Amino acid sequence: MTPEQIVRKFFEEVRSGHNPDYSTELMAEQVLAHQIISEEEITVLRTPKDYAEHVREMIEAYGDFSLEIQEFLVQGNKVYVRWKQVGTHVGEVEGYQPTGLPVIELASAIYRIEDEKISEYWIQIDRSGIQKQLKSNKNIFSN
C-alpha cells in the first residue's frame, strides 16, 4: 500500500473507532508519537495494542463519535491529516462527569510511513478547546 492508502485505512478503521485492533496491520511494532501540549513537545512510544486501547478509551468517553477528514496531503512518505471529531460526553473525562452533550475535537497530525507501516507521527489537538467545552457543558448540565 502507498503512504496515502495506509493513512486513509488507519483513519477509516482504527482512528474512527470502527476496528481499533486493525492497528496491528497499519502500525509498526513501536511508533514514536510526538504530542504537542501547550507548546511543549512530549514523545511517547506507542504500540499497536496500546493505540487500540487509546481508541477504546475515546469511545468510552465520547461514545460512537464521528470523524471527518477536513484536509489530507501527501508528500513522499509523510501524510498530513486535519480532522474534526464529534462525540457525546458519555464517560468521565479529566474529572468531568458525563453530561450527554456534544464535544468537538479539532486536531491534525503528520504520519511518517516506513516499510508500509506508520512508524512515527506528530499530533496537535486543540486541548484548550476541549477543556472549555467540558467546563461549559458541566455548567449547562448542572443548571
3-state helix, strand, coil in the chain (%, to 5): 35, 45, 20
Contact 52, 23 (CB under 8 A): yes
Assess whether pLDDT exceeds 70 at residue 139.
Answer: yes
Structure-block grid coordinates of residue 44 = 511517547
Grid cell 475515546 is found at 58
For residues 54-58, average pLDDT:
96
- Residue 69: pLDDT band by 50, 70, 90 thresholds? very high
